[in-house]
Every structure is written in C-alpha cells, then in structure tokens.
Amino acid sequence: MILTPHLLAGAAIASKISNPILGLFLAFSSHYFLDMLPHWEYSIKNVKSKRWVGAVPESMRIIADFSIGVLLIVAITERTPFALLGAGFGIMTDLLGFLGVVFPNKLLRYYDYLHAKTHFWRHRKIPSVIGILSQILVIAAATYFLS
C-alpha cells in the first residue's frame, strides 16, 4: 500500500483512542492489517537493490506520497501533533524495511520477511482497480474519522 493510507489510518486511530500508548500501538498494528488488503504499490526495486541513481524517481514518488499524507492530516485534524505521531507509527514498518535495505542485518532482514508475509494476496491475479479502490476506501474512512 502506498504511504498516504497508512499515514491517515495511523493518524485517525491514534487521535481517536483515549489511551495514547494503546493508540500508538494500534496505529503501528494497523499497517499489518492494511497490508492484508489487496492494494496497489509503486515500484521501489531500485531502492531495494541500492541502485541510487535509478532510485531518484522512486524517491520522489515516496516523498510526494508522504507529503500528501502529512498535508492532509494537518489540514483536517485538530489534534495535529498526536495525529502526526500516530501517522509516524502507521508507517514505521516501512521505515524499518527501508533501514534494512540501507543497513542490512539479520534482525531487519527477518523483520522484512515477516512484514512481507502480510502481503499474502500478492501472488494472486487481482485487478488493479481493486487494489486502487481499497486504498481510496481506507483514505476516505481515515479522513472521515480524522475530521
């Protein structure tokens, strides 16, 4: 799933749960549940294979995606600081995966393996429209709960 739905879902969950520790834990956990939904993702193969020159367009998409999510959170919620913290927890799994690429080690490699297992639908033929629609629905639901 692209970053924006994960950011918005994490922000919505963290800002709606009265217990901050539980809210952040659920924001972090939401990433795994959302990855279980069939979804579309843009390619980051150059980043994963450390071809940094080829990774520039991929990096620009990631930055744009991240920026859109953060701007939406800032624009629609009153609890912005805590919502942004929840958003950070919502994408922390992807950050850990990126750290595993940049600083390879056994622990992060194993973590990335476990994270990849939540994408169990990936090897099935699923129409792209379903993958895009699932993300639109997550964005709409999270936006509703944030406002």
* Phi/psi at 40 (5° precision): -95, 145
Q: What is the pLDDT of residue 67?
A: 97
Q: Are 23 and 111 in contact (CB under 8 A)?
A: no
C-alpha closest to that of 93 among 123, 117, 67, 69: 117
Residue with tokens 């071809």: 51
Q: What is the pLDDT of residue 123?
A: 66
Mean pLDDT per segment of 10 residues, for the chain of length 147 residues?
94 95 97 89 78 85 95 92 96 91 89 84 77 93 95
Any idea of the CA torsion for 4, 130, 138, 33, to the nearest 10 degrees? Answer: -90
Angle of CA points 26, 140, 147, to nearest 5°? 75
Q: What is the pLDDT of residue 136?
A: 94
